[in-house]
Structure 1
């Protein structure tokens, strides 16, 4: 979609910029990046834009909140070079990522529900866990046994940052405190759900940052809200992109008419 697609009233760069709260340099940068169709030029070499450029800019700015700047830019570049299917593929990937994020959230919530009985106040670590005298923790063997995994698995989780046991100064053995047990249980639930270690690690970080499972409830509500907001922003972006495709298609309609 180049100059032959421009139509409507002429707009100066400053008109296009002010109408969208941008600087004229930002508009020029977007054009140079292929986010906007190429501008027309006056006999004196000044750029001129049209309502089509304004529609392209609205589409891009609407796509950014839902898809991110890089993906939104890639979508617009694909549309402007006529690769609409490529643009749709990029949009599909963003929606797939959103769906995956929703599944991850559900998995975390399910894992936390499974942990609630064992992590309830006064429940303790459970009879299967051998408490280290004077240290307030459990060794790797009893914890692995309770979870039904091998000690080597816990060591692998430690290397991935999922658990952070300390070392007993007398024996050098790993000692898992209450927070470590919680993190190990959560990691175990998520692994059973098919999640990879690299997917689990940032979730464990969120649990630690929240200070435990109960404070994490607020974080989960916020997570729900952010996912819903992202979904709505994607809808807004899709509407503006459709408007731009219609505007560009109307200009280029003769080129696709059957002969």
Structure 2
């Protein structure tokens, strides 16, 4: 059954579309998808919307930036079906995902910070010098390090490094004479980044895409802009969720 008209006010699809800068077909599609309550029909079969439909459309469009189109649509359908607890559950899930994304960003930033060179000693030219290599690396080949010394430096087992290799986190070459794995400077960087993220509780399948981004960027420094953009997008998403919550509450009040 369609939604009862409020105060006798009728809105045509074009009125709703113009007010929200949409096409009339989009408005009809949203109704058919359950995002809007079902409209009453005039004697001639035309859709007759009300201010409540306008409020529903405003709520949906406000929810999309923070929750995504699919989740926003599911929230609105749940509300229109009277399943408000399900709608609140969907909202909570989005907030939980945002919190998890913030934690991931923080873990990445901390991991990258730990990988920065030592800046406590300056070179004669005024630039910062890198930390002297550890004893473990003193036993390495001129062109890289073997798995044992690297595992020792990272505080992990050699088997762990082999597992990371299978997952694509590190890509050591093989010594042509001995067949041993040789980790170059980029491999050591990737292994250290993987260790920091694993210590933060992140699974290998989440770490692998980040390692790939580090490789494609040619190192850690170019990622600063990406991290800044990531942080800004999370903040924008959080603010959009607040706006969406306000519009959803207004729609719930209007429904009574």
Q: TM-score, normalised by structure 2?
A: 0.88
Query: 5+ unaligned residues in a row in structure 1: which ranges?
Result: 250-259
Segments ≥4 residues shifted beyond 4 Å: 118-121
After superposition, give the CA deviation of every residue in 1:119-168 in whole Å (9 maximum; x if it has no partner): 986446543124334xx222222211211212221121122222222333
For residue 147 of structure 1, the aligned residue among 144, 154, 178 is 154
User: 1:238 Cα deviation (Å)?
Assistant: 0.7
Give the Cα separation in 2 of the matches to 1:106 and 1:87.
29
Who is 1:74 aligned against? 74
Q: How does 1:14-163 map to 2 (within 5 A)?
A: 14-117=14-117, 122-123=130-131, 126-129=134-137, 130-133=139-142, 136-163=143-170
Contact 1:118–1:125 under 8 Å retained in 2: no
The structure-2 alpha-carbon separation of the partners of 1:152 and 1:6, relative to structure 1 and needing over 3 Å to count, comes to farther
Q: Quick check: 1:107–1:193 contact (8 Å CA) kept in 2? A: yes
Q: Helix, strand or coil: the match of 2:136?
A: coil
Is structure 2 residue 11 aligned with structure 1 residue 3?
A: no
Contact 2:56/2:251, CA 8 A, preserved across alignment: yes
Judge conservation of contact 1:118–1:126 (CA < 8 Å) in 2: no
Q: Distance in 2 between matches of 1:125 and 1:43?
A: 84
Q: What is the match of residue 228 of structure 1?
A: 235
Q: Deviations over 1:49-81 (max 9, x none)?
A: 111111111111110110011110110010000
Q: Give the aligned CA root-mean-square deviation in angstroms.
A: 2.0
Per the normalisation by structure 1, the TM-score is 0.87
Q: How does 1:163-182 map to 2 (within 5 A)?
A: 163-182=170-189
Give the direction of change, closer, same or farther, for the CA distance of 1:40–1:214 in structure 2 (3 Å limit).
same
Report the Cα offset of residue 11 of structure 1: 1.2
**Residue-by-residue CA offset, 1:58-116 (whole Å, 9 max, x unaligned):** 11111011001111011001000001111111111111111111111111122222222
> Partners of 2:208 and 2:50 in 1: how far apart?
49
Select the residue among 238, 244, 247 that pairs with 1:237: 244
Higher helix share: 1
Find the aligned partners of 1:173 and 1:100 in 2 and give their Cα distance. 39
SS of equivalent residue, structure 1 residue 175: strand
Partner of 2:122: none
Bigger CA drift: 27-36 or 117-126?
117-126
User: Secondary structure at 1:91's aligned position in 2?
Assistant: helix
Name the residue aligned to 2:211.
Answer: 204
Q: Distance in 2 between matches of 1:160 and 1:247?
A: 52
